[in-house]
Amino acid sequence: MRKIETARAQNKVVNYAKIIMTDWRLYALLLPMIIWYLLWMYKPMGGLLIAFKNFQPNLGIGGSDFVGFSNFISLIAGPYSEQFWSAFRNTFLISLYGLIFGFPIPIILGILFSDISNVTFRNITQTFSYLPHFLSEVTITGLALTLLYHGEVNTGVIAKLLFETNLVPDGTKIIQNANYFRPLYIITGIWKEAGYSSIVYFAAIMGISPVLYEAIKVDGGNKFQEIRFVTFPGMAPTLIIMIILRIGKMLSVGYERIILLYNENTYKTADVLSSFVYRIGLEGSNQALGASAGMFNALIGFALVMGANFISRQVSETSLW
Amino acid sequence: MNRLNKSEIIFKMLAYILVGAFAIVALYPVIYAFSASISGKLEYEAGKIVLLPKNINFQVYKLIYNDKGFWISYVNTLFYTVFGTAWSMLISTTGAYALAKKRLLFRRQFNFLVVFTMWFNAGMIPTYLNYVNMGVNNRWGIIFAFGVQAYNIILLRNYFEGVPKEIDEAARMDGVTEFQMLRKIYMPMSKAALATVTLFYATSRWNGYFWARMLLKNPMELNLQVYMRILIENYRKMFDDMPINLPYATDAYIYAILVCSIIPVLIIYPYIQQYFARGVNLGGVKG
């Protein structure tokens, strides 16, 4: 029995080799990408081991001692636990607010764009609203920090506007004030991405058959009924995919903008898991602790995508894979 | 044209107003930055600049023009963008082409290998240690180790899958090799997708900050974003040592730097803009 199985397995390998030999050009085209992924995406995954080790840079990952879950335990209950849980809470809150305020705006924009019949006006406004997406985080945070600056001599124009409209008490140092960090982060995020994200919804709406709109019109439906009964169902699959993606990313708030915007005075509300990882793992040099916090973050994130995808498949037959 | 009923007219008006307002808000900081950078010091500090510049002078741009570090970082960024994008495109296009072929052995597994990284990756610390371990601390390291994104590969793959099988088969009968097939048939037929992905890679190279700051050690190799950030962090201090009777405000300097970083984006953007909306939609988000 075993002989036959081995022979079969060998045969299979021989066959694969044959296929690859005759079609080597196709595999040659694939190879660079695979090597790239192995070297730069999969190889570092081995480095996750340091989350379980007492990492010492001079010994390397392989040479350092295993310490089991002690890094995780010290994160959850040790000297860094206060910072860790605060970062955890901030990550969750920033994501949640981002979802509540950030998610509907591109959808509304998509609907509005689809209702504009003047093509020139639409093209121009769309072009303008996509633009911030292509600016760098350094540019955007640079703008935000300068526009919101409040110093002795000069005050940024947006800060001035906020003071004059009493949205923010006069003289507040917005960038240095922990109370304003989350709105700042979320509003800059919306400013940067809302226009661009609306492309997907706009396209979904454009894909809806005009016949359906005719039909509801004949039935005497008004604009709001039209949106409710035609536009929304028509864009539902896109909506679901986007919400899964969003939920999947709940715990991976981008670190670049956070790191560029926050400062010691705003850590309390601004520090998220990824900026925490950066601060203790790279700025400080507690790599092992950083890696375990990062891994913790990634695993929950992964579970979230899986969960969201599973639920969506049950409810709507739409899923990512 | 159908006659519009009342709710539709109201909605349409609302749509025009809101969309117009959003577009203005999106563009405003960029226009303001430019105006502020060329306005006079007194006007700026008195808060008289709202949209258009007053007492125009381009003195602050002279300061930047004479800043050697700025030009070095600018040229470096161009270098990273051109070569980095080329490298990313090379890998992504060839890889996506192979993945689009149904006859590829272990196609599902290879696809998974790429898609999986969208959901799970090693994270900042192991990734950093890997870069250090592999010696990514110079120009070429930055070019080769970065910039391949699963999303872009999937987008290209989906696009390539849309090329009609008949064309592929006919070409194969004529003895066309894979390389020729990709170059002469698939690439010309996928211009919109290629342009889109090129734009994505180019902007991410042009805008790259974090890893460049972490990894690049030689000041001669810094890119624009890192250089800019360092300037932003220090500019108020820097102006303390300068003569007080400058014609521009301290902030004008930062606004001018920001404008300089945006200009290339503004120049290229209109040409490619027409493609990406189409490209993004055709690629879709489906894995």
How many angstroms from the chain centroid is the CA of residue A276? 17
Q: Do B178 and A26 touch (CB under 8 A)?
A: yes
How does pLDDT run across A39-71, given as a tens digit for each residue?
A: 999 999 998 888 888 888 778 777 788 888 888
Does the structure show a pLDDT above 50 at B283?
A: no
List all residues of chain A from 11 to 70 with a beta carbon under 8 Å from chain B.
16, 19-20, 23, 25-30, 32-34, 36-37, 39-48, 50, 61
Of B177, B209, B287, Cβ closest to residue A321: B287
pLDDT band at B169 (very low <50, low <70, confident <90, very high): confident
Which of B12, B125, B228 has its CB closest to that of A277? B125
Chain B hits for A248, Cβ within 8 Å? 119
- Nearest CB partner across the interface for A33, out of B8, B95, B254: B95
The structural domains of chain B, with segments of one domain joined by +, span 2-45, 61-283
Check CB contact under 8 Å for B94 and A33: yes
Q: Return the residue of B nearest to A12 by Cα.
A: B105
* Confidence (pTM): 0.89
- Rounded CA-CA distance B231/B45 in Å is 21
Residues of A in Cβ contact (< 8 Å) with B281: 199-200, 203
With beta carbons under 8 A apart, name residues in chain A contacting B255.
146
Q: What is the structure's pLDDT at A35? A: 96
Cβ atoms of residues A156 and B287 within 8 Å: no
CB contact under 8 A, A137 and B262: no
Shortest distance between the Cα of A271 and any Cα of chain B, in A, equals 16
| Closest residue, chain B, to A239 (C-alpha) | B285
Mean pLDDT of B181-193: 90
pLDDT at A121: 94
Per-residue 3-state assignment (H helix, E strand, C coil) for chain A: CHHHHHHHHHHHHHHHHHHHHHCHHHHHHHHHHHHHHHHHHHHHHHHHHHHHEECCCCCHHHHCEECCCHHHHHHHHCCCHHHHHHHHHHHHHHHHHHHHHHCHHHHHHHHHHHCCCCHHHHHHHHHHHHHHHHCCHHHHHHHHHHHCCECCCCECHHHHHHHHCCCCCCCCCHHHCHHHHHHHHHHHHHHHHHHHHHHHHHHHHHCCCHHHHHHHHHCCCCHHHHHHHHHHHHHHHHHHHHHHHHHHCCCCCCHHHHHHHCCHHHHHHHCCHHHHHHHHHHHCCCHHHHHHHHHHHHHHHHHHHHHHHHHHHHHHCCCCC
**Taking CA atoms, what residue in A is nearest to B226?**
A138
Check CB contact under 8 Å for B119 and A305: yes
Query: B40, B247 in Cβ contact below 8 A?
Result: yes
Q: What is the pLDDT along chain A (321 residues), one digit of tens a residue?
A: 667 777 777 888 888 888 888 888 999 999 999 999 999 999 999 988 888 888 887 787 777 888 888 888 888 888 889 999 999 999 999 999 998 999 999 999 999 999 998 989 998 999 899 999 999 999 999 999 999 998 877 789 999 999 999 999 998 999 999 999 999 999 999 999 999 999 889 988 988 888 888 888 888 878 888 888 899 998 888 888 888 778 777 777 778 999 999 999 999 999 999 999 999 998 888 888 999 999 888 888 888 878 877 887 877 776 666
Task: Give B178's pLDDT tier (boundaries 50, 70, 90).
Answer: confident
Q: What is the pLDDT of residue B208?
A: 93
Contact check, Cβ <8 Å, B47/A157? yes
Min Cα distance A2 → chain B (Å) is 25
CB within 8 Å: B207 and A298: no
Q: Which whole number is the average pLDDT over B180-200? A: 89
Judge: B114–A154 Cβ closer than 8 Å, yes or no.
no
Which long-range contacts does A270-275 make (Cβ < 8 Å, 24+ apart)?
A270/A90, A270/A178, A270/A181, A270/A182, A270/A185, A271/A83, A271/A86, A271/A87, A271/A90, A272/A87, A272/A90, A272/A91, A272/A94, A273/A87, A273/A88, A273/A91, A273/A297, A274/A91, A274/B124, A275/A87
Distance CA A221, CA A214 (A): 10
Give per-residue pLDDT as tens, A252-305.
Answer: 777 899 999 999 999 999 999 999 999 999 888 888 899 999 988 888 888 887
- pLDDT value of position A38: 96
pLDDT at B284: 45
Question: Average pLDDT of chain B?
Answer: 88
Contact between chains at A128 and B232 (C-beta distance less than 8 A)? no
- The contacts of residue A35 (CB under 8 Å, 6+ apart) are none
Contact B94 A32 (CB under 8 A): yes
Interface of A with B in 248-277 (CB under 8 A): 248, 255-256, 259-260, 274, 277
Write down the pLDDT at residue A320. Answer: 63
Choose the most confident range, by mean pLDDT, from A22-26, B24-28, B165-169, B239-243: B24-28
The residue in chain B having the minimum alpha-carbon distance to the alpha carbon of residue A294 is: B123
Instruction: Provide the 8-state DSSP code for B219.
Output: G
Mean per-residue pLDDT, B91-98: 96
- The CB density around residue A118, as the number of other CB atoms within 10 Å, is 11
ipTM of predicted complex: 0.89
Asked if A135 reaches chain B (Cβ–Cβ under 8 Å), the answer is yes
Distance of CA A258 to the CA centre of its chain: 13
Closest Cβ opposite residue A16 in set B8, B105, B145: B105
Q: What's the pLDDT score for residue B286?
A: 39
Q: Which of B99, B120, B280 sits opposite A302 (nearest CB)?
A: B120
Average pLDDT of the residues in B71-96: 96
Do A91 and A272 contact (CB within 8 A), yes or no?
Answer: yes
CB pairs under 8 A between A and B: 266
Q: Do A37 and B127 touch (CB under 8 A)?
A: no
Residue B261 in this model has a pLDDT that exceeds 80: yes
Query: CATH number of the domain at B61-283, please?
Result: 1.10.3720.10
Give yes or no for A239 touching B (CB within 8 A): no
Question: Can you tell me the mean pLDDT for B21-43?
Answer: 94
pLDDT at res. A312: 76
The pLDDT value given to residue A108: 95
Burial class (CB in 10 A: 0-12, 13-18, 19+), B118: middle
Mutate to test the interface with B, among A38, A146, A230, A247 (most CBs of B within 10 A): A146
Structure confidence at residue B256 (pLDDT): 95
Average pLDDT taken over every residue of chain A: 88
Suggest the residue from B1, B2, B22, B210 to mutate for an interface test with chain A (most A CBs closer than 10 A). Answer: B22
Q: What is the dihedral of CA A271, A274, A280, A281, to 10 degrees?
A: -170
A4-8, A49-53, B46-50, B103-107: lowest mean pLDDT where? A4-8
pLDDT band at B28 (very low <50, low <70, confident <90, very high): very high
Closest-CA residue of chain A to B266: A131
pLDDT of residue B3: 61
CB contact under 8 A, A203 and B27: no
Query: For B125-141, what is each residue's pLDDT tens digit?
Result: 999 999 999 999 999 99
